[in-house]
Amino acid sequence: MTTPRTALLLDGRVDDDATQALIHDTLAAGMAAAGLAVDDWTLRDEKIAWCAGCFGCWVKTPGVCVHKDGGRDVAARAARADLLVYLTPVTFGGYSSQLKKALDHLIPLKLPDLKKTGPDTRHPQRYDRVHDLLVVGTVPRGQGQGGQARTFRRLVERNCLNLRPAHSATGVIDEGAGAWEVRVAVASLLEQAGVAGAAPAHLQDKEMVA
């Protein structure tokens, strides 16, 4: 029996914004339609401490955060996932506070030593599993090509250098986007992130990505 691929959806919404809710539901439905087992995690419902920067997850309890709260589960659930999905309002060109707290707890997926990789020096992966990555951010209407959106895309690009995903995709969608616009954007982004069969072919036009 073949084990289905798994996806961890880290939902970094800070409120009940209608567009973000629509994107969330479309992402979850698309991944489920493609046969992925979806671990859907609304981060604001979880107690997660800010990373203390103590490096205990490297030198005292390798691979495990020293804080005994939801932050400890972030790395564990991410380690089991084939696809990592981040959903967030773009905040000062970055992730929401809810998502940033969670992502800081992914440090245990790295080893504390450093390795030269091309022109860069980076921390090697602790585990052999290679993840795919999909990141979707929302910005105020008309700002999809603005400064915050550009900074956000650059941030994800730099994060990919650390995660080293096999496939990755980044989308910025305007708040207030309609259902059809969201469906087209999400279908194309899922395809770029290595998820096949997430939507009918007529919804997978790459030229219509948000």
The full DSSP string for 59-91 is HTSTTS-SS-SHHHHHHHHHHT-SEEEEEEE-B
Signed CA dihedral, 18, 138, 72, 193: sign only? positive
For 90-125, the pLDDT digits (tens) are 999 999 999 999 999 999 888 888 888 778 888 888
Residue 7 to residues 62, 89, 120, Cα–Cα distance (Å): 24, 20, 29
Q: Which CATH number is 6-208's, of 3.40.640.10, 3.40.50.620, 3.10.25.10, 3.40.50.360?
A: 3.40.50.360
For 41-73, the pLDDT digits (tens) are 999 999 999 999 999 988 888 888 888 899 889
Q: Are 89 and 17 in contact (CB under 8 A)?
A: yes
Q: How far is CA 191 from the centre of its chain?
A: 15
For the chain, the C-alpha Rg in angstroms (whole number) is 17
For the chain, give every domain's residue range: 6-208
Residues 6+ apart with CB under 8 A from 176: 19, 141
DSSP reduced 3-state for 129: coil
Question: From CA 10, how far away is CA 32, in angstroms rounded?
Answer: 15
Question: From CA 56, how far away is CA 63, in angstroms rounded?
Answer: 9
Q: Are 57 and 106 in contact (CB under 8 A)?
A: no
Predicted local confidence at residue 4, as pLDDT: 81
DSSP reduced 3-state for 191: helix
Both structure tokens of 123: 């921390």
For 137-186, the pLDDT digits (tens) are 999 999 888 999 999 999 999 999 888 899 999 999 999 999 999 999 99
Question: From CA 36, how far away is CA 194, in angstroms rounded?
Answer: 12
Predicted local confidence at residue 169, as pLDDT: 97
DSSP reduced 3-state for 105: coil
